Amino acid sequence: IRKGGDVPKPKKKWADPLTNQRVIHLDSAISRGLDSIDWQKLRAIQKSAGGSEGVWFVDIPEQETEEQQLLVIKASGSMAADIFSFHLGEQLGVLLPKYRVLTPDTPELYNATLNCLQRLTIQVNGKLPPGRESNNLSTLMVLGGTTAGAGTLNRPFFLLLEFIPNIDAEHIAQHPNIVKKVLPTLHNTEEEDGNSETEHLEQIGKILAFDAILNNFDRLPLGKLWKYELETEVPLGNLGNLLFRKD
C-alpha cells in the first residue's frame, strides 16, 4: 500500500484468444485449398528454415480437425519475378503448385497480414498487446521479433501457394517407393498408375531448362553451366530445392 492509503491497481493481463498450438509438423500435415480462407481461424505459423527470403507455413483448417491443414505464403520482395517464373514454368510444362496472389486493393491482404502477425506475436511472446495495439501492424512486427522474420510479412503482395507434402532429392534414398517411381526400370514400360516410367525424368529435364532460362543455380548441381560464369570452384546447386511429391 502506497502512502496516502492508495492501493495500486493490478496490471492488466494480456489474453491469448487463440489456441496454444505453435509447432507445425510438415511430415504429417496435409494440404488445404486456397479459396474461401477464414484468416481468423489461423492456428499456427512457421517460417521455413532455408531460402534467401523463405516462405511461411500456415495452419488454417477448412474443417475442425486436429490434423494440420497447411497453405504456404511467399511474401517476396520481388513478386513480379516470382509471377513471371510461374508463367514461364506453365509454358514449359513444369509441374507447379496452385497459387493465388493477394493484392493491396483487397481487404484480404490486410486480414491475412494482421492475423499472421498476431499469431506470430503470440507464439513469440505468449500474448497479444492490449487495446488497439493488438491491431497495429507496426507494433506486431516489433513484438513478432526480427529473429522470427516478422518483417518479411510486411509486403504489398502475398503469393499463396498450395502446400504439397514432399521429399527433397537429398533425402529421397530414404523413401524407396518414391525412388522406384523416379528411376525407370528396364522391364516395365508403364507404372501401376499408367504413367510413362520416364515422366519423372522428363520433368527433371524441364526443370533444368526452366532453371537455365532463369539463371537459377540454387537447385540442380550443374557446375559446367554456372561455375564458369561465377568463376568459382565451389560446387553449385542445392538438391534440397528439388522436390518430389510423397504420393
Residues 92 and 129 in one domain: yes
- For the chain, percent of residues with pLDDT exceeding 70: 79
Residues 133 and 176 in one domain: no
pLDDT above 50 for 33: yes
Residue 110: partners with Cβ closer than 8 Å, 6 or more residues away: none
Is the distance from CB of 172 to CB of 244 less than 8 angstroms? yes
Distance CA 19, CA 118 (A): 12
Confidence (pLDDT) at 193: 53
Distance CA 168, CA 225 (A): 22
Confidence (pLDDT) at 15: 41
Tell me which of 162, 196, 213 is where a domain ends. Answer: 162
Q: What is the CATH number of the domain that holds 65?
A: 3.30.1010.10
Grid-cell match 500500500, residue found: 1
Average per-residue pLDDT for the chain = 81
Confidence (pLDDT) at 17: 43
Residue 134: partners with Cβ closer than 8 Å, 6 or more residues away: 118, 128, 140
Residues 120 and 221 in one domain: no
The lowest-confidence range among 16-25, 35-44, 61-70, 195-204 is 16-25
Residues 39 and 90 in one domain: yes
pLDDT above 50 for 11: no
All three cell numbers of 9, joined, read 491497481
The lowest-confidence range among 24-33, 135-144, 191-200 is 191-200
pLDDT above 80 for 247: no
The candidate with the shortest Cα–Cα distance to 154, out of 203, 114, 95, is 114
Is the distance from CB of 159 to CB of 99 less than 8 angstroms? yes
* Per-residue model confidence as pLDDT tens digits over 87-132: 999 999 999 999 999 999 999 999 999 999 999 888 888 888 888 8
Residues 147 and 181 in one domain: no
**Orientation angle between helical segments 137-144 and 107-125, nearest 10 degrees:** 40
Confidence (pLDDT) at 44: 93
Tell me which of 134, 162, 190 is where a domain ends. Answer: 162
Better-predicted residue by pLDDT, 63 or 186? 63
Residues 90 and 138 in one domain: yes
DSSP state of 70: E
Residues 59 and 133 in one domain: yes
Residues 196 and 140 in one domain: no
Is the distance from CB of 167 to CB of 243 less than 8 angstroms? yes
All three cell numbers of 166, joined, read 514432399
Confidence (pLDDT) at 101: 95
Distance CA 155, CA 160 (A): 13
Number of domains in the chain: 2
**Residues spanned by the domain of 227:** 166-245
Residue 23 lies in a domain: no
Residues 37 and 99 in one domain: yes
pLDDT above 90 for 78: no
The candidate with the shortest Cα–Cα distance to 196, out of 184, 208, 209, is 184
Tell me which of 104, 138, 162 is where a domain ends. Answer: 162
> 69: helix, coil or strand?
strand
Confidence (pLDDT) at 153: 86
Confidence (pLDDT) at 194: 53
